[in-house]
Amino acid sequence: AWVSGRAGCEHNARLLREHVLAASDRTGLPVNLIGYSKGCADSLTMLGSYADASAAVTSLVSYAGVVHGTPLAEGIPAWMNNALRYLPLPGEAIGDGRAIADLTRQARRRFFANHELAEDIRFASIIALPEAARVSRVLISAYQKLSHIDVNNDSQVIDHDAVLPAGEVLAIVNADHWAIALPIAERFPRIAGFFVNHNQFPRDVLLQTIIDHLADTPVERN
Residue 154 lies in a domain: yes
Residue 192 lies in a domain: yes
Residue 146 lies in a domain: yes
Per-residue model confidence (pLDDT) at position 95: 62
Give residue 50's domain range: 9-216
- pLDDT range class, residue 218, cuts 50, 70, 90: confident
The residue ranking higher by pLDDT, 85 or 32, is: 32
- Which residue(s) pair with 36 in the sheet? 63
Interval 35-46 mean pLDDT: 97
Residue 2 lies in a domain: no
Q: What's the CA angle centered on 54, arms 51 and 56, to 5 degrees?
A: 115
The string of pLDDT tens digits covering residues 71-84 is 999 987 776 766 66
Residue 222 lies in a domain: no
Radius of gyration of the chain (CA): 17
- Count of the separate structural domains present in the chain: 1
Residue 221 lies in a domain: no
The string of pLDDT tens digits covering residues 13-29 is 999 999 999 999 999 99
Interval 134-158 mean pLDDT: 98
Residue 157 lies in a domain: yes
Q: Tell me what percent of the residues of the chain surpass a pLDDT of 70.
A: 89
- pTM of the full structure: 0.92
Per-residue model confidence (pLDDT) at position 83: 63
18: domain CATH number is 3.40.50.1820
Residue 3 lies in a domain: no
The residue ranking higher by pLDDT, 217 or 11, is: 11
